[in-house]
Amino acid sequence: MEVHQARAFLAVAEELHFGRAAQRLHMTQPPLSRLIRGLEEELGAELFDRSPRRVVLTPVGEALVDPARELVMQSERMPLLARRAQRGETGRVRVGFSGASVNAVVSALARCVRQKRPELALELYGSQLSEPGMERLRSGDLDALVGRWDHLPSGIDSCVMAEEELFVALAEDHPLAAKSSVRPADLAEEPWIVLPGGTSATLSARLQQLGRVGGFAPRVVQVAADSATQLLLVDAGLGSALIFSGVRENFPAHSVVFRPLQPGLGAVEVRLAWRRDHVSPALASLVDIAQCFPRAGSARSSAIP
């Protein structure tokens, strides 16, 4: 049953008179009768018992009244839904994020979306580390990505949502654990446990920066699959790790201590990134919310060179 057929059927069902139904639909009676007859042929059932004195719904006709009303109501809602989608009030945005180390940021963003755009659906995908997540973003598998990058590819725009510090994670019985802060030069002999991602990943780049400041080449002894495993290996005494403050705040580590660097390596920005050439109305709404994110201060949208 198509929408125009449903309207015609309902008019006859409510008027129980073809002439009055035709007037209501601003048409003549013969075309209305042909339309109803064609509908009955399509459905393979009589919808009305017709006689010279009266028109009555058949049991099949009675069963179709509510579905026909729903069909008409849905069709009437379509223009409104289209306008709302164009304004970014509804729709779907697929958002990737690295993992638990940015849980607080992602959770706060989701709360802001629920408050400001309650019908905007966020689909969240965890375990999207910086480089693999960026590949999914560039390929179109994700619409946006929350992560940390010192450099972003061309064609990717971003806005800052939070700033983090860098810490050195040490086993609690490590000699440097007794210090309130650690100098880069103190770490010259340390074995390092790192995350996957290659030299362009933020942590890898900052570890190399740490080596330059401290005058050493970092000796990597193991690559951990994720931050939780990285801290477990630190706890076991297999090495030290350079970590984000978000990791310290979100992962329990009973026998690991976290020490700031003195001097530090600068703040690390947590960003929402998206493709410049693929901004849907729903994504634009998410970006607007992220740009006014409470933890981002006065950060503005930018493409990192």
Q: Is the pLDDT of residue 111 over 80?
A: yes
Residues 78 and 102 in one domain: no
In a domain, 249, yes or no: yes
Residue ending a domain, among 62, 86, 110, is: 86
Q: Are residue 209 and residue 221 in the same domain, yes or no? A: yes
Any domain includes 224: yes
- Same domain as 150, residue 281: yes
Same-domain check for residues 188 and 219: yes
Q: Is the pLDDT assigned to residue 305 strictly greater than 60? A: no
Residue found by looking up tokens 């650690």 in the block: 182
What pLDDT shows up at residue 199? 57
Q: 170 with 149, same domain?
A: no
> How high is the pLDDT of residue 82?
67
Residue finishing a domain among 42, 61, 86: 86
37 lies in the same domain as 114: no
For residue 267, pLDDT over 60 is answered with yes
Is the residue at 75 inside a domain? yes
Going by pLDDT thresholds of 50, 70 and 90, the confidence category of residue 296 is very low
CA angle, 173 then 165 then 241, to 5° = 35
Is residue 304 assigned to a domain? Answer: no
Per cent of the chain over pLDDT 90 is 60
Tell me the average pLDDT across 127-146: 87
54 assigned to some structural domain:
yes
Residue range 233-251, pLDDT digits in tens: 999 999 999 999 888 887 7
Judgement on whether residues 283 and 238 belong to the same structural domain of the protein: no
| Total number of domains in the chain | 3
- What's the confidence (pLDDT) of residue 242? 95
Residue 255 lies in a domain: yes
Dist. CA 152–CA 158, nearest whole Å: 9
Asked if 203 and 72 sit in the same domain, the reply is no
| Same domain, yes or no: 182 and 251 | yes
Mean pLDDT of 259-268: 92
Is-contact 282 88, C-beta < 8 A?
yes
Q: Confidence class of residue 253 from pLDDT cuts 50, 70 and 90?
A: confident
CA distances to 32, 108, 217, 240 from 188, rounded to whole Å, are: 89, 38, 8, 12
Q: Are residues 80 and 138 in the same domain?
A: no
Compute the average pLDDT of residues 275-292.
90
Between CA 145 and CA 127 the distance in angstroms is 11
For residue 305, is it within any domain? no
CATH number of the domain that 50 lies in?
Answer: 1.10.10.10
N residues, the chain:
305
The confidence score (pLDDT) of residue 292 equals 80
> At which of 64, 86, 108 does a domain end?
86
pLDDT at 273 over 50: yes
Inform me whether the pLDDT recorded for 49 exceeds 60. Answer: yes
Residues 175 and 222 in one domain: yes
Residue 6's CB is within 10 A of a number of other CB atoms, namely: 22
CATH number at residue 137: 3.40.190.10
Q: Within this chain, do residues 50 and 178 fall inside the same structural domain, yes or no?
A: no
pLDDT for position 86: 67
Give the tens place of pLDDT for each residue, 200-222: 578 888 999 999 999 999 999 99
Q: Distance between CA atoms of 227 and 276, rounded to whole angstroms?
A: 30
Q: What is the pTM of this model?
A: 0.67
Q: How sure is the predictor about 63, in pLDDT bands with cuts at 50, 70 and 90?
A: very high
Q: Please provide the average confidence, as pLDDT, over all residues in the chain.
A: 87
- CA angle at residue 56 from 53 to 62, to 5 degrees? 175
Examine the pLDDT at 299 and tell me if it is beyond 60. no
Average pLDDT in the 70-78 region? 85
**What is the C-alpha to C-alpha distance for residues 59 and 54, in angstroms, rounded to an integer?**
16
Domain membership flag for residue 170: yes
* pLDDT tens digits for range 146-190: 988 888 889 999 999 988 999 999 999 999 999 999 999 999 999
**Residue 33, domain extent:** 3-86
Least reliable range by pLDDT among 78-82, 120-124, 238-242: 78-82
**Mean pLDDT value across residues 120-126:** 90
